[in-house]
Each structure stands twice: as C-alpha cells, then as structure tokens.
Amino acid sequence: MNFEKITVCLDMHGCPNKCKHCWVGITPNGRLSIDDLKFVAKNFRPFTHDLEVTDRYREEDYPDNYKELWEITSALSDNKTPHFENISYWRAVRDSAYIPWLYSLGVRAAQLTIFGDEETTDYFVGRKDAFNEILQTIEILLANKIAPRIQVFIYKNNILQLPYILQLVEFLDLENKCAGFDKEFSFFLHQGSCSGENEQFYDDWITEEDIEKIPPKLRDFTIKHFNVQNIVDVLGETEQSLYARLIHNSSHMDSIITDNPVFFIDKNFNVYPNYETPSPMWCLGNLKTEGAEKALNAYVNNSSVAQLTMATTPINEMVKKHGNPDSLRLFGEWDYKNHLLLKHLRTK
C-alpha cells in the first residue's frame, strides 16, 4: 500500500479553549512527547514517499516548545506546508516572541474568530477574557505588519451582534491600518457546519429571514472573501428545498478516499480521517495496539462505521429518516448531507 502523500496530525496538547462551535469536538487535552510524535511518523513512513507530520489538529502553537515542535515536524516531513493563517491568540498575549516568529515564517495574515461583544465572545469560546485577548492580538498583529482576518459564526442568538462587530472593525480602523502596510483587511461570516459541538445550535440555525439582518458591509466583505456572487452562495439554501431535492437522490455520499489523505490521531493514538469530528464512528484503529497498516486498510476499505454507512446507505434514506421537510434553516448541500449522516450514525 502506497499513497502519493500522507499527512498525520497528532493532537499532542489540545487547546486552551472550549468553543461551542468546535467541529473537531471538545475532548480532554493531552500532553504527548516528542518521542510520541516520532513514533507516529515512523509508523506511517513505510506507506508514502511524501509524509507530512504535524503536532496538532486543534490549537496552533499551544505548547511552550512550539518553536522546537515546528523544527521537529519540519525534519520529520518530506515537504512541510507553510504555517497556516490560523494562530493562537492565547499564546500571542502571553509570549512576545510569538507573533514576530510567525512573521519570520512568512505569515502575513492571521485569522481570529469572534462572535459579538465581550460577553458573547467569551460565552462562545467558553473562556473568560477570550475577547480581550483577541483585541490585544489584533494590536500585536498590526504592529508586526500581519493583517488580521476576522471570522464570525452566526446563529439566531448572536446575529444581532453584527452591527456591533461592524462598529468594532471601523473603530479599530482595520481596513486603513492593513492598507498602511500594503495588506488587505478581510472578514467573513458563516454558520459553519452543523456537526461537532456546532450541532447543538441546530435550533438556533439561521433561516432566510435572517439574511437581511446582516449589515451590507459585512455581507460584501464575506462575498469578496469567498469570491462568490451572492451571500446565498455562502449561507446555502433552506433545509426544505434540500429535502425536496435530495429525497429523490438514491445515490450514495461521495467517497472520502484519496491518494493524499490527512489523518487525525488523538492523544490515545486512535486514528481518524480528517473529514468529520473524530469519534468512534470514524475510528480506523489504534496506532499503538494495531499499527498504521491496519488503519490505512480500514480507510481504503471503508471499514469504519461512518465510511461504511456512506458507501451503503442511499442519501434519500437518510433524508427520509432524519430530514425536516418544513425547516427553513440554511445549509450548503455538502454540510447538510453530513449533518444527516451524523444523525443516521447515531441511530446505529
């Protein structure tokens, strides 16, 4: 068995936050060692000539030895992807060397997620002071010529915070300050996928009537960010119309198998495809007790409960059992199918 590329992401230290929208799910943090990371790399090494190793699938750069981990993962990888534009504001306000280090790696834009004002953002992040840390991080980023990019998750219970967020963007003068070092400020909003922790907001999911509550400037930023024609291209269509279309679709969900898979490995060395929330339904095996070959075989043979269900259960069967033909909630088609799959898996 040989893959064009394999990326393995070991959840070595977890995350300081407990975001209520987190698609990878809130699980206890681990404290894995560099030897654990090397163990993972060694196990997957025989199955590709292009292995990439990362020390996380949750918060970037959370452990104190984040620089060392960057060096080690680079050495263990054949081709290292440049540092993502996701960063740790937890670290940014505690470690003055962090943002300059990101700049030295070539990071020129950094994404930060807010949900509204201080109270709202702290509530959604699940940690007091999160909002203030984000504001401090924006200042540090600007001082280091890195453009902040603001992401907002919207639900019925925070959409009326959008005018406040617009005021904040204008008060902080983010467009002009980014232009001052030849970068473009960007912003986007969306509802995220209805999976992981975010599934808890199904009852608060936005509907068509909420679109007019989005301030035009934030709508236009979002359209530009996603390079689409209309905000509906981002927010999707009603569950009602998806139901009406997909109830006639007797095909199966698309296979997730590729020649360059990404695998999540949790702190107990369970292996999952990077597709939906790591959970027993997606588990491909345990690296310590069963090895990488078993997990890779499970992956290519659709052996996990979730992959098997995708390959064998017609879409219209899941729609009929779990869809709501009267719901005006907005979903993209891909997200909606995965939402139904999750509900279906729970019945197994």
Among 9, 15, 114, 281, binds ligand SF4 (CB under 6 A): 15
Part in contact with ligand SF4 (CB under 6 A); list of ranges 17-25, 134-142, 236-244, 251-259 = 17-25
Regarding 24 and contact with ligand SF4 (CB under 6 A), the answer is yes
Select from 16-24, 64-72, 256-264, 337-345 the region that touches ligand SF4 (CB under 6 A): 16-24
| Binding characters for ligand SF4, 59-88, by CB under 6 A (x = yes) | x-----------------------------
Residue with Cβ nearer ligand SF4 (3 or 153): 153
- Nearer to ligand SF4 among residue 192 and residue 323 (C-beta): 192
Q: Is 18 in the site for ligand SF4 (CB under 6 A)?
A: yes
HSE-up of 139 (CA within 13 Å, CB side)? Answer: 8
Q: Which is nearer to ligand SF4, 58 or 329 (CB)?
A: 58
Residue 44: what are its φ and ψ, rounded to 5°?
A: -90, -15
Size of the site for ligand SF4 (CB under 6 A): 8
Question: Of the candidates 12, 19, 112, 231, which one interacts with ligand SF4 according to CB under 6 A?
Answer: 19
Q: Give the interface segment with ligand SF4, choosing from 13-21, 135-143, 239-247, 300-308 (CB under 6 A).
A: 13-21
Among positions 8, 10, 12, 22, the unique one binding ligand SF4 when judged by CB under 6 A = 22
> In one letter, which amino acid is 211?
I
Of 12-20, 235-243, 268-276, 278-286, the window that binds ligand SF4 (rule: CB under 6 A) is 12-20
Cβ-based nearer residue to ligand SF4, 122 or 239:
122
335: which 2 tokens? 């997200």
Say whether residue 9 binds ligand SF4 (CB under 6 A).
Answer: no
In the bound complex, what is the minimum distance in angstroms from residue 17's beta carbon to ligand SF4? 4
| Residue whose CB is less far from ligand SF4, 9 or 319 | 9
The only residue of 3, 52, 58, 153 in contact with ligand SF4, by rule CB under 6 A: 58
- What residues make contact with ligand SF4 under the rule CB under 6 A? 15, 17-19, 22, 24, 58-59
